[in-house]
Structure 1
Amino acid sequence: MRIGYVVDAGCDLPQSIIDQENVVVLPIAVRIGEQVINDSRQDVVSQQFLDSGIAKDAAEAETIPYTVEQISELFLTKLVVDYDYVMVQTITASRSPIYERCVQASFKILSEYHAPREAAGFATPFNMRVVDTGTLFTGQAVVAWEAIQLRHNGTSTQAIRNRIDRVIANTHGFLVTPDLYYIRNRGRAKGDRSVSLLSAALGTTLDIKPLLYANRGMTKPVAKLRGFEPACEKMLNYATRAVGQGLLTPVVSLAYGGDLDEMRNMPGYASLKQACLNNGVTLLESMMSLTGLINIGAGTLSVAFAQEGVFNFD
């Protein structure tokens, strides 16, 4: 069976893996002022954004995911012919309309796929599943990486579904951003006022950086540390400890909103890399997607992994 995977542009799976494994990316258009940039998860687009002068205005940007009609067209003109089964993995539905749009599109796709498949010479059925990963960015990459390994192993679609559900439930994503004012302004532009002007001002004045956590559709701060690098080090230490204890799937995903050499020089990175080498764990490293940069700001560091059980933040 020909199995295909679709992710949205916010998924921080390295571009090399996306290209090698033919992972299909649902683009997200980004409108900043009068300029529109198409994010299809390419490092060159993220780098151009970081190098440009428009990054300072990004908090007011509008992100425009594919519509139901565009998703349906992509499937009915291409994917229902290229594959027999497609799993769509989206950013958490609590933060984006992408999941709901893909579900709506699936009704049209599953009722109209017969004609294009028959025209291409395929008499067998087509099926698809839309999955809410319940996480963001690097967390999505962990789920996608596991799905790719299952495809390589010749795993059945039902077994893939069961395994991916288990990985999603136990994927722990973290991020630290250097600029609370950006998060506040970005949130206000989207109608989210969870970071107030006072908390942003105090956090900036005292150099307090919250460590944010995502799991099962929920996002929350789990620690506050003084200084960006100490906060990043604590976050990376969480991942290092988890690697030593044992992961549900042997992968850790890292993404950084800047030059990856800067990330590799951060405290805690070397220990994490060594722990991964010692335990046979793949360390994915990626420049953050343009969508991620728009939503949480340049310079943000994110890490994710899958470990069963309630996570211990001590």
Structure 2
Amino acid sequence: MRVGLIVDSACDLPYEFRRKHDLFILPVTAVIDGQTYVDTHDPVRTQEFYQSGLLQKGHHAETRAFTTEQIYSLFMEQIVTQFDIAICETVTRSRSQIFQNATEAMNAVMANYEQARAAAGRTGKFSMRVIDSKQIFAGQGLLAAHTLRLIGQKLSKNALRHEVETFTDRIYTCVIPRDLHYIRERARRRGDKSVSALVAFLGKALNITPVLFGQGAEGQPVAKTRSFEVAVEKVMNYATARVEAGLLTPYVSLSCGLTWTEIEDLPGLNRLRDACERHGVELLLSQMGITSSLYIGPGSLCLALAAEPHAFGDFQ
């Protein structure tokens, strides 16, 4: 019985990891300066975006979820015909329409899959589940990596679904936004008022770089620093200490809206690498995808891991 895992373009994972595990990417449409791009997480295209400057805040940009009809077509053509069981993990439903559209598409697929499946020469029933990851970016990537680990354990489909849905509440995420003004403008266009104009102004005027920390997408400021480098150092200190204390899954997911040269120069990255290697943890280091970079702004950073309940300050 073949089990397939689907994630959307907001999920940040290393390209080689996605290719090795045959992850199916549900694209997101990006509209930048009136030009439409489909984000399929192609590493060459992503690098071109970083080098071209298209992701900078001066460009009017937004992301759009694939419609129910578009997702339905993808599921029917590429999922029903290849897998017996499919799990689709989407970016948190509180920030995107993807979960809703994918759920509607799944319902239509389940009512109409038999003919397409028979034409592809696949026998037996098809089962599918759409799961709200409750995560963003690196957090979604961590959940996908853990799900693949569970799939490898050959759990029943009900046990697999239960384990994945339970695990979403055990993921902790750190986000360092490079530019609060960028986030506020993007949030304003989406109708999200969670980032106030005052916070954005103070961040710019006083050169404050915050560290946001919490479970899933519900992060709160836990540190205010005077530079991006100091904020990164705090996050690396946290992650290194948390790895040494123990994790619930042997992965740390880290995505950065930077060039690879800048990523390699991040303070504390090598210490985190060493800690992961000593404790048998895989560091899933990736360049932030187009979708996530547009959402949070170029130059930002997102780190996720899974652990028992704790506070950011416990590991400083």
Same fold, judged at TM 0.5 (above): yes
Change (3 A) 1:58 1:152: farther
1:101-140 alignment runs, 5 A limit:
101-140=101-140
| Counterpart secondary structure, 2:80 | helix
Distance 1:59 1:97 in 2: 23
Change (3 A) 1:25 1:272: same
Distance 1:106 1:311 in 2: 37
Once the two structures are overlaid, the 10-residue window that deviates more, 137-146 or 47-56, is 47-56
Where in structure 1 do 4 or more consecutive aligned residues deviate above 6 Å?
none
Deviations 1:184-212 (A, max 9, x none): 22222222233333322221222211112
Deviations 1:34-66 (A, max 9, x none): 211111112222211111143335663121111
Identity %: 38
Q: Work out whether residues 29 and 65 of structure 2, in 8 Å CA contact, stay in contact via their aligned partners in 1.
A: yes
**Structure-1 residue corresponding to 2:100:** 100
Q: Work out whether residues 30 and 37 of structure 1, in 8 Å CA contact, stay in contact via their aligned partners in 2.
A: yes
1:166-185 alignment runs, 5 A limit:
166-185=166-185
User: Displacement, 1:261?
Assistant: 3.2
User: Displacement, 1:216?
Assistant: 4.5
User: Displacement, 1:306?
Assistant: 0.6
Distance 2:85 2:252 in 1: 27
**Structure-2 residue corresponding to 1:148:** 148
Q: Does 1:188 align with 2:191?
A: no
| Counterpart secondary structure, 2:12 | coil
Deviations 1:226-274 (A, max 9, x none): 2111111111222112111110000001111112332232222122111
Deviations 1:52-81 (A, max 9, x none): 143335663121111111111111122111
Distance 1:217 1:295 in 2: 13
1:1-314 alignment runs, 5 A limit:
1-57=1-57, 60-314=60-314
CA RMSD of aligned residues (A): 1.7
Q: Work out whether residues 93 and 217 of structure 1, in 8 Å CA contact, stay in contact via their aligned partners in 2.
A: no
Q: 5+ residue gaps in structure 2?
A: none
User: Displacement, 1:313?
Assistant: 3.3
- TM-score, with structure 2 as normaliser: 0.94
Change (3 A) 1:205 1:259: same
Distance 2:75 2:63 in 1: 22
- TM-score, with structure 1 as normaliser: 0.94
Q: Work out whether residues 177 and 297 of structure 1, in 8 Å CA contact, stay in contact via their aligned partners in 2.
A: yes
Q: Matched residue pairs, number?
A: 314
Letter in 2 for 1:267: P
Once the two structures are overlaid, the 10-residue window that deviates more, 4-13 or 187-196, is 187-196
Q: 5+ residue gaps in structure 1?
A: none
Distance 2:59 2:295 in 1: 7
Q: Work out whether residues 229 and 267 of structure 1, in 8 Å CA contact, stay in contact via their aligned partners in 2.
A: yes
